[in-house]
Amino acid sequence: MTEHDPSPRSRRDLFRSAVRYATLGAVTVVTAGLVTKRVTKPTEAPCVNRGICRQCAAARSCNLPAALSFRDAVDAT
C-alpha cells in the first residue's frame, strides 16, 4: 500500500504552487537572457586602438563605423 500525506493539499494550493514556480522560472529565463545578451550600439563600444584600424588586431570583428569602412576599403582592393 502507499502511504498518504497527513496534510492533503487542495487544488488551490497546487495551483498557487504551479503559478509561483512558473513565474519564478520565467523571471529566471528573462534575467539570464538580459545578462548574457547585452545589446550595445556599434558607436557605444570603446575603440581599443584609438581609431587606427590598420594596426588593430580586432579590426575584423569590430563593428565600429571606422572598422566597417576599413574592411570595405581593404576588401575592395
Say if pTM beats, i.e. exceeds, 0.85: no
Q: Is residue 17 part of a domain?
A: yes
| Contact between 49 and 26 (Cβ < 8 Å) | no
Q: Is residue 77 part of a domain?
A: yes
Rounded-to-integer distance, Cα 64 and Cα 46, Å: 9
Residues 70 and 53 in one domain: yes
pLDDT at residue 10, as a whole number: 87
Q: Is residue 62 part of a domain?
A: yes
43 has a pLDDT exceeding 80: no
72 has a pLDDT exceeding 70: yes
**Domain of 32, in residue numbers:** 10-39
Q: Is residue 64 part of a domain?
A: yes
Number of domains comprising the chain: 2
pLDDT class of 48 with cuts at 50, 70, 90 = confident
DSSP per residue over 37-75, as a string? Answer: -----GGGSPPSSTT--TT-TTTTT--SHHHHHHHHHHH
